[in-house]
Chain A
Amino acid sequence: MRRAGFWAYGLLTAFVLGSVFPFYWSYLVASRDSGMLTDRVPPLLPGGNFWANAARVFDSVEFVKALTNSVIVAGTVTLTTVFFSTLAGFAFAKLRFRGRDPLFLFIVATLAVPTQLGIVPLYMAMADFGWIGGLWAVMVPNLVTALGVFWMRQYTLEAVPYELVEAARMDGCSMIRVYWHVCLPAVRPAAAFLGMFTFMTSWNDFLWPLVVLDAGNPTVQVALEKLQSGYYIDYSLVLAGTTLATIPIVIVFVLLGRQIVAGIMQGAVKG
């Protein structure tokens, strides 16, 4: 493998700067007032208005409620997805049962189904249940995903030796105890990655929450959209909200970056 030279480092640096810049710009506008945007030469250093603008975000939309809702939704969806995916992954990878392979193929095929296009009947069903406006409507469709089951099955295949499952069975463990005491500890790294991935996906989800939630009880993404769709766009306000909603995720992302990168690359090789 070639050692990276000047050009490689230069291009990569440009890339990373390009990755970071929109975040920085968001903070920059949020820390000044909208007047800066009319300046002929825009300033490149942050001003001191960020907290003032952030305070206006909390006055303009239900931002505290939005943050709470997003934590509840993303947290619940993460827990159920990890639990059901590891369980199904264990069954598909280590248990023998009639129809196993066709059923697994079916799950892989559903990965390609654009379920987003079914929102009209889904909305009607939620309306019938009286769930519109509530968090159930956002959480229920995302309790478990095909991608989660697929990943966990692939990982469990390698991470859990058959002998261990057999030994636990011989000791008289029930299936669910085998799952809990043998399978789950062995797949913990993959389950952790699935958890982070699910949390981020759920936190950033937009179309469906926009359909079923209103401004009185939003998630963070819906609140941001409401912030932007005011009578006229005050960018210092809107980007203060955007910064507030994005920075926590970016910090977590950088802290857990090594695991996230490894997870994506591992999933790619196995997929």
Chain B
Amino acid sequence: MTLSEELATDDQRTPQPGDGPRGRSGWRHRLARLDVKASPYLYIAPFFVVFAVVGLFPLLYTGYISLFRWELGSDNPTFIGLQNYVELFADNQFYRTLTNTFSIFLLSSGPQIVIAVLLAALLNSRLRTPTGWRVGVLLPYAASLVAIGIIFANLFGPKYGLVNSVFQFFGLDRIDWQANRFASHIAIAVMVNWRWTGYNALIILAAMKAIPKELYEAARVDGASAVRQFRSVTLPLLRPTLVFVIITSTIGGLQIFTEPKLFDAMPGSNNGGSTNQFQTVTLYMYQTAFESQHFGYASAIAWVLFLVILVVASVNFLLTRRIASTGGPS
């Protein structure tokens, strides 16, 4: 690393420590000791304070609120035990939103990872102006989720959307991207993929660049074809990175909110379509809390989603680790 080399030469130019700690009076010495002892804690304190106040406490307190019937502005929330959870497990809309969330998640994360790996492989070949291509595929990352939601809601408009015009041009049937449940999930998954594929491709590309070239040479000597090299050398060594990408996209993907909210053709609606056909769990939680103003019930939704994310992320982790240990040399 050039930076540390630079620093190393700086180091040589630094005047030798001459007088050191000699000649310090007692209290200055104690002050210096206090500085050494206390400073590290002081430096890391801001994160822990912020996290405790706006991360940990709200998450735990959500569990507490979920045991109450708690309306916005009411001063007397009533304790109702697990009643909110009982209602939630009998709530058809909750199951519908959970199904929607998983459907959109699978439609986005699956193809996204496959395409990202292929894109990374393309970017890993010898290109003219490699940085230009990388910036090009990363460009969607600059757009905000709101902007993406608005633009794609327009592109997938059922009546006048460009996608349907193109379909019609090629003699295909128009699709109602809003009303058709599965089609709406695909449209939302396309938005997610559009924004994140390039980003994930760069993370995978970085891992590809870190693979030692000797491995490929050895494989070539053994007569492995390009495809075979990719399968037997590249993929196994990418697994830790793929685990990372899959886990982060699980945690983010199951909380998806902005895309379905902005996709709704009904302005300002939180319904996720007229029959909640693309309402996600987070959108349902938002609606319950800030439109219907049932804080207790919204908190129960949040807690269940939290547990679902925990379970799915752990399963993903164990699964990908298992695959990694059964196949490949890693």
Contact = CB atoms under 8 A, between A and B. Distances in A.
Interface string B141-164: 111111110111011010110100
A97 B39 CA distance: 9
Interface residues of A, number: 109
A143 interface: yes
A265 B202 contact: yes
Most interface-central of B47, B122, B123, B210 (chain A CB within 10 A): B47
Contacts of B137: 12, 15-16, 19
25 contacts: A11-B122, A12-B137, A20-B139, A23-B151, A25-B162, A26-B147, A26-B151, A103-B48, A114-B306, A117-B303, A118-B54, A141-B50, A167-B17, A170-B20, A175-B43, A204-B145, A207-B258, A239-B151, A242-B151, A245-B147, A253-B138, A258-B131, A260-B138, A261-B138, A264-B199
A246 interface: yes
Nearest to A124: B295
B313 interface: yes
Interface stretch (B57-65, B91-99, B173-181): B57-65
B247 interface: yes
Given A15-B198, A25-B162, 14 more contacts: A23-B151, A42-B162, A114-B251, A119-B302, A121-B57, A122-B58, A140-B50, A144-B50, A146-B51, A167-B11, A224-B147, A225-B146, A230-B267, A268-B207
Contacts of B257: 116, 206-207
Contact of A120 (B17, B144, B298): B298
Contacts of B47: 84-85, 88, 107, 144, 146, 149
Given A110-B51, A144-B46, A118 B206 contact: no
Contact of A84 (B4, B46, B255, B305): B46
B299 interface: yes
Nearest to A95: B40
B236 interface: no
A68 to B, nearest CB: 17
Contacts, number: 312
Given A224-B150, A228-B262, A269-B206, A91 B40 contact: yes
Interface residues of B, number: 110
B35 A225 contact: no
Interface in A14-38: 15-16, 18-20, 22-23, 25-26, 29, 37-38
Contacts of B44: 87-88, 91-92, 103, 149
Contact of A8 (B65, B122, B140, B247): B122
Interface in B159-216: 159-160, 162, 165, 169, 194, 198-199, 202-207, 209-210
A184 to B, nearest CB: 12
Interface stretch (A45-53, A54-62, A156-164): A156-164
